[in-house]
Amino acid sequence: MRRRCSRARRWAARAAALALALLGLGLAGGGGGEELLAAAMAAWIPQNAPETPETGPETPRNASQSPAAAAESPQNGPVTPENSPDTSENSPVTLENGRKTPGNGPRTPGAAPEPPPTRTIFVLGLPPPSVPAQALREESRLHGDLLQGAFPDAYGTLTLKTLLLLRWAASRCPGARFLLKADDDVFVNVPALARHLRAPALPERLYLGRVHWWVPPNRDPAGPPHLPPALSPRRRFPPYCSGTAYVLSRAAAAAVLAAAPRVPFVAPEDVWVGLCARRAGVAPRHSARVAGAMRVPLDGCCYGEVLFSAHRLRPEDMRRVWGALGEGCGALGRVLGVARCRVMAAWSKPA
């Protein structure tokens, strides 16, 4: 009888999730429909993550060095950040774009309280011969924020980079509640994102970003990232967060690492993370405030209050954005929110 009741409750939850999904498909404008659809997915993904997180798959010796091994002999191996004090329970680790710590940047209007402390790490591989190794060591000495793997720094090794950063964060920042991964040309409004992450209703295993829905793999050998059918025969990938910027809670990152040994080592890296999350029973959570590949013109309202991240910014654009954060939004800008930023992106011409 209990089993029947449990099944009935489970199917009732799925029916409610389906209703939310259908409602989400009918909404337009600011991205609320996609957020409802992503929220409904959680009821349909089996919660089958292992209870004891593993360290993740072993990477080839000539492809990556484990964070622990790299930290033991930084003078002879890849560049790694200096030993850090224990990260506080409320601190996120950021692996993203600029050396100016966003938590110490300009305050947005009405922002309170102060965002928690963050640590920014740049993950890279081995540079081409044209870049002297001494230059990277000097960079690491000055800033202490480089994590280097023993594999070529190329688009095809992004999955190795992601595995390296996940293992490093698990090993060196076990107290951090959230891990943010972002590309180096992505602006991240960490104060705004940190305020969002304080919401009490967020799931413990949070996988947050701009969700890509049922993307087909690239079968063309001439175009990266090529994925042969022998490696992954599926016609479409399950939903996953865009690799431009996404957040993993501590529990979600542990679940991804635990599932990784049973997931093919495929590219692109955001697909691989999504496959690991799917295997672990972690549903991606869509946020319309993560711009993904959408190119938003430099606007104080969009960057200062509305968006958590924006893609394809040059270093000079980053500096201009930080200088404009104090402008904020007017009343109409706050009401229109993401819809306004989307219209601006559609009408602007690429730089």
Q: What pLDDT was estimated at residue 280?
A: 97
Query: For the segment 248-275, what is each residue's pLDDT rounded down to a tens digit?
Result: 999 999 999 999 999 988 878 999 999 9
Q: What is the DSSP string of 265-290?
A: --SSHHHHHHHHHHHHTPPPEE-TTB
The CA distance from 124 to 31, in Å, is 33
Q: Tell me, which fold does domain 45-347 have in CATH?
A: Spore Coat Polysaccharide Biosynthesis Protein SpsA; Chain A (3.90.550)
The pLDDT value recorded for residue 54 is: 44
| Residue ranges in the chain modelled with pLDDT below 50 | 17-30, 49-77, 82-91, 96-98, 100-112, 351
Q: At what angle do helices 32-41 and 2-26 cross, to 10 degrees?
A: 160
Beta-strand pair 207-212/285-286:
parallel
Q: Which pLDDT value is given to residue 70?
A: 36
Looking at the DSSP assignment, which residues form a beta bridge with residue 120? 94
Residue-level length of the chain: 351
Q: For position 36, what pLDDT does the model report?
A: 54
H-run or E-run covering 181: strand 178-182
pLDDT tens-digit series, residues 298-338:
888 999 999 999 999 999 999 988 887 777 788 888 889 99
User: Is there a cis peptide before residue 225, judged by omega within 30 degrees of 0?
Assistant: yes
- Show the tokens assigned to 115: 């965002």
